[in-house]
Every structure is written in structure tokens, then in C-alpha cells.
Structure 1
């Protein structure tokens, strides 16, 4: 008997059936505070986000560029902890209906324990995990633990990943495969590298798992480029985090700015 699709898998199935590309904004939990994060999550949902990637702030974010590093610093200064992030997320159950993918690093996860972290994340309402600094071999240990709690462990593929390892990662990834569009850290780029299109095509030949592209997408034009390359989803982080930071300190203003930015991306992606 086939198992029922997870919330992330179901969302991508529905989007594929409608011929649409998923829009997945990223925001840093606790920047500038968790009340703002809660309001922003609901604003993004209302503005057409299909999923949300929610960052748990960490003091040594190896994969993050300056915009998201600064956001993590502000969140940590405001007293944000993994437990407080999960409590905030749990408080939105019943209101927030789109899948939430938690973005965290391996040290906080291992410090708490894989089983305990996955259980707490699932109870808070998370649908998946992204752990960018977790090697494939460790990810293969974490994935069944996450799956037992109903969480998809999403794995990352980079432009420099050798083809054989890329195929192995794509096969092991659950929910979707996260294709990093650039070499280096997150951040707004003027242009995406053309080879990303060939990488999307390459991954598509290796299985049915959806492919979402992130790192460097700054606006609707680049999101459409990702869609036109055949990707199933576009992940937008630094550009959104920057727009939120420029909106001021009032959480209503920040959430509204995030919603406007997301709505522009949604309209552009659906053109």
C-alpha cells in the first residue's frame, strides 16, 4: 500500500496538476521579534506563498550571506531560541495552513538530539527540515528519524556537486530537492547562472522528486526564469529579508511589506 503524501509532497502535487511553480519565501524567525514573525507568516500565506522556509537563527550561519546573517544577529539579540521559535509556530496552528520548512544548522539539532528535535518540530506544526551543513551520510541517518515524525528532510544540491553524488542526494531528498543556484552563500544576485537550467533538467531525469531553486533570486523576473527552466519551485530569501528590514521596527509594517513583496513575486511568477 502506498503511503499518503506528506503536506509538502501534496502541495507540490497540487501545483504540478495546475501547471504552477511553487513560491517559497524565506524569513528569519525572531527578526525583529517573534510576534512580527507570526504576523509575517500569515501575511505571506495571504499573499500567495505556497510554502515558507523559516530560519532558526544561529550564531555561525555558514551558508548565509550578509543580509540573512544580519537578520540572524538581530533575532539572537532579541532573545530568539529554537524553543521560542517552535512555540511561536505552534501558536499558529489552525491559522497557518501552508507547509513550513524549518531551516537550521546541524549543531543546534545535534545538541538537542535528532529524535527530540524532530518530535518537537512536528508537534509545533513544521512539515520539513533543511540542514545545509549536514553531510549526506549524516542526512541519511536523520531522514528516517524525521520521516517517523511526518517531516520531510530536504537535501541541497550545489552547482559543484559531482553528478553521481547529485543523483544520490536527489534520490535521498524528501519533499523536494533544494538546488542552490550559485556557488557561495545566500544573497541577491543580478543574474542567475545559465547552467542552473541544465542542472534542473539533469535532476528531473533522476526521479520524480520536485526541484526548487534558491540562493540569489531577487525578484519576479528571476523567479520566472527558474520556472521557465522547469523548476517546481522558487525560493526567495535575502531580497525578502532586506525588504522587511527596510520597512521599520513596527511588526504591522514589516508584515505588510513582506506581504506586498510576496504578492509581486506571485503575480510575476504566474505571468
Structure 2
């Protein structure tokens, strides 16, 4: 049922004319004991899925904000094993799908088969591995399939058309359309060709297409969602949680709704 939970979450949102909103949070930033409450908050605020980052010592795809969150979590001794154990403790208390974002090294150190089983036990529905290319997917695909864990592929701006088609064909859950050439982090603007790129991905992908990297304002949410199925927001969410600015998160999530939002009082 893990993959099905992702499909159902998207269907519920898209069928009512809204766009999907996937917040990224760093597991263990602020302590693992706060994880359940943060996931519950995001669920109640209308998030579609929660992308949960695993702190890692060499996060090549992450910008400064997420790197700093990872360092804070690592200093508290947070590990992949501890994260999965914590997720398992409150899986019955959440309905929102959890997608884990981790680099390949922690999975390899854990043991691929044991990791996949632990994900299923913890109620993880999907996985994003940014440093795993198509050519090396055989390292994990069999075990993920056996445990009903979706492998979500990332499509970059610089990938050639044939590779984008293959990524779109193989992806499970959704296709993560990377909106910048670089690491995560807030951006003021995006390149002019991005909308055309998102629209072309929609044309070749049967799964939902979400835009992520650099999305940081309600305007970005609406702008980028126009030609795809929603957005992933990371650095802005991580910052807002760290600063306890939760109203900002609610405003971002509300921007994915098709309904006109009442102005803040």
C-alpha cells in the first residue's frame, strides 16, 4: 500500500483542482522528539506529502540552509536507523505519506535489503536518492520493489531529451523536476525557459510532475504550478521551522490551493 498512498494523496488534491505541496524537513533538526509534532502540523496545514531529509556529512545537492539543518541534526546524534525507528513509533498516528530523501552512502552502510524492510516497517512510502544515477539503480530497485517503496527520480534542466524520457518512464510516485542548475536554496527568479521545460515534462510523464529547488514564496508556488502538478519547498520550510515562523508555512501551503485565500488580518 505504500506506493498507493502517494497516488491517493495526489489524486485527492488534483481532483479538486488544487496543486500538490510537498514540504521538505530535515529529520532531527531540533531533535527527533519533535518529528511527530512537525509532521502532524504539516499534515493539518494541508501538505500533500512530507519529504523527510536524512542528515548526511557530504550533502552534495543541498544548499547552505539544509546543510546547516543537517549539521544541527548530526550534532544531536541523529542517524538513519534512529529516524526509521522514530517514524515507526507514530506511523499509526499519521495519514500523510512520508518520502525519505537520503544519499546512497547511508543506505549502503545500513544494508540495502535491511534498509528497504525498515522503510516498510516505518511506514515510508517513497524514496529520493539524489546521487543515484539511472545506470546504478540496480543497487536498490529490486529491494525497494519487494517492499513497495516508490523510487522517485529527479529530472534536471541539463538532461538531454532521451534521458528525460527515460526518467519520466521509470519514476514512481512523482517526477521531481529540478528547477535550477545548482544546489537547493531560495531564489528570487527562475530562468525563462523553465515553464516550457515543466510543460514538456508533463507531456512525457504519466506520473505527477513537481517542481523543486529554489521555491520560496507564494508567488513561486503559483507560478511554477501553472505548468506542472505542484511544488516541493525545502529551504524556506526548514528556515521557518527553525525560526518557529509557522504562519509563513501555512501561507505557502495555501498558495497551492485553487481557492482564493482570505487576506491575513
What residue number does 1:266 align with?
Answer: 253
Native 8 Å contact 2:2 2:148 kept in 1: no
Query: Cα offset for 1:6?
Result: 1.6
Residues 209-248 of structure 1: pairs in structure 2 closer than 5 A: 209-229=207-227, 231-247=228-244
2-side partners of 1:16 and 1:244: how far apart?
Answer: 27
**Separation in 2, partners of 1:216, 1:263:** 18
Any residues of structure 2 matched to 1:1-271 within 5 Å, and which?
A: 6-229=4-227, 231-247=228-244, 257-258=245-246, 260-270=247-257, 271=260
Return the offset for 1:5.
6.0
User: How far apart, in 2, do the equivalents of 1:159 and 1:171 lie?
Assistant: 17
Gaps of 5+ in 2: 261-265
CA contact (8 A) 1:6 1:152 kept: no
State the 1:207 CA deviation. 2.9
SS of match in other structure, 2:176: strand
Q: With structure 1 as the length reference, what TM-score do the two structures score?
A: 0.91
For 1:224 and 1:76, locate their aligned partners in 2 and report how far apart those are by CA, in whole Å. Answer: 34
Is the alpha carbon distance of 1:42 and 1:5 closer, same or farther for their aligned partners in structure 2, counting shifts above 3 Å?
closer
Aligned equivalents of 1:63, 1:4: Cα separation in 2? 26
In the TM superposition, what is the alpha-carbon distance from 1:140 to its structure 2 partner?
4.8
What is the CA deviation profile of residues 66-125 of structure 1, one whole-angstrom value per residue up to 9, with x for unaligned ones? 000000000000110111111111111121111110000000111222221111011101
Q: How many angstroms does 1:183 deviate by? A: 0.4
